[in-house]
Amino acid sequence: MVKESGYQWKLGMFVIVGLFLFVGTIYFVGKQKNLFGSTIELYSKFNSVNGLAVGNNVRLSGINIGTVEHIEFLNDTSVVIKMVIKDEVRKYIKKDAVASINSDGLMGDKVLTITSGKKSTILINDQDYIRSKKAIEMDDLMVSVKKSVDNAGLITAELAQFSSSMNNGDGALSKLVSDKKFGNSVDNMVTSLEASASEFKTFTTSMNNGKGALSKLISNERMGNSIDSSLTNVKTATKGLNEVIEAAKHNFLLRGFFNKKKKEEDKKLEEAQEIEEAEMKKALKMDQKNDSLKK
């Protein structure tokens, strides 16, 4: 009798624990599926669901607010996703909200993410459609990653070639890095340039502050005026000399001298013209003679 009573007690405890576990499971699943609270249904159209499945979570600001209840084809290029979310979060979702499909981690399950919207002030209603944003395809991402890796490999190869050329090449940059003699030559050239710059600086300082004629000519206004005045006097003297010579030509004492000089110049001019005419006639005769021989 005692043995049978102990067996019944164990059976009763097993049933009670099983019942609690069953109720807890129902509650947990129901909570996840929003079976015990007030909910609303929203829809969104996508060209591709990218692996999103019924039962996946719907999130707003990183918080689970519902689940994907149904996925249905509209046509060969469009799919409609029906989601069930908690009615209590409806006040945070505006008419310009956007739905997008993302991954829960790098390789995790897909989730439907809702961005609440900012411009509109009108809240969504039950059975409303919200805009969708194209998801990033994993294939496109892998192609982009592959392209980046290829570019990195190409850049690495070019850097290696550049380094090799720098160590073994004959170019100026290679010599500047590896050739000690060339480097010394460049260093000497730079030193010479620095010395020239220093000398030029000294020269300009002397020009600005020195007492030489060239310095005064540049910086001394009084000396400049003096030179300008001297040039004016020379010009005036030259003009006066020309006037004296012209007056001397008409003086009866010197008139014979100037007339004789003028006659000599005219005679030389006539002789030069006669020589030129003789050469032209000679050349003309030679041309006529050549024409007659050709005929």
Q: Which residue type occupies 7?
A: Y
For residues 70 and 43, is the Cβ–Cβ distance under 8 A? no
End-to-end CA separation in angstroms for the chain: 166
Q: What percent of the chain has pLDDT over 70?
A: 64
152-168: average pLDDT:
75
> Using one digit for the tens of pLDDT, what is the confidence trace for 216-269?
666 666 666 777 777 787 777 777 666 666 665 565 555 666 667 777 777 888
Indicate left, alpha or beta for 288 from its phi (over 0: left) and psi (-120 to 50: alpha): alpha
For residue 202, pLDDT beyond 70: yes
- Measuring CA to CA, how many Å separate 191 from each of 184, 185, 200, 204? 10, 10, 14, 20
Q: Which residues contact 59 (CB under 8 A, 6 or more apart)?
A: 65, 111, 112, 113, 114
Q: Is the pLDDT of residue 204 over 60?
A: yes
Q: In this predicted structure, what is the pLDDT of residue 284? A: 73
When mean pLDDT is compared over 68-82, 194-208, 262-276, the highest value belongs to: 68-82
* Higher pLDDT among residues 184 and 58, named by residue: 58
Exposed e or buried b for every residue in 188-212, given b needs 16+ CB within 10 A?
Answer: eeeeeeeeeeeeeeeeeeeeeeeee
Contact 207, 214 (CB under 8 A): yes
> What is the greatest pairwise CA distance in the chain?
183
* pLDDT-based confidence at residue 79 (cuts at 50, 70, 90): very high
Residue 45: per-residue pLDDT: 92
Question: What are the boundaries of each domain within the chain?
Answer: 1-32, 38-136, 226-268
Mean pLDDT is highest, among 19-23, 77-81, 103-107, for 77-81
The pTM is what?
Answer: 0.41
Give me Rg for the CA atoms of the chain: 55
Looking at 40-85, list the stretches that DSSP marks H as alpha helix, in order from N- to C-terminal side.
Answer: none
CATH 1.20.120 fits 38-136, yes or no: no
**Which tens digit of pLDDT belongs to each residue from 108-118?**
788 888 988 88
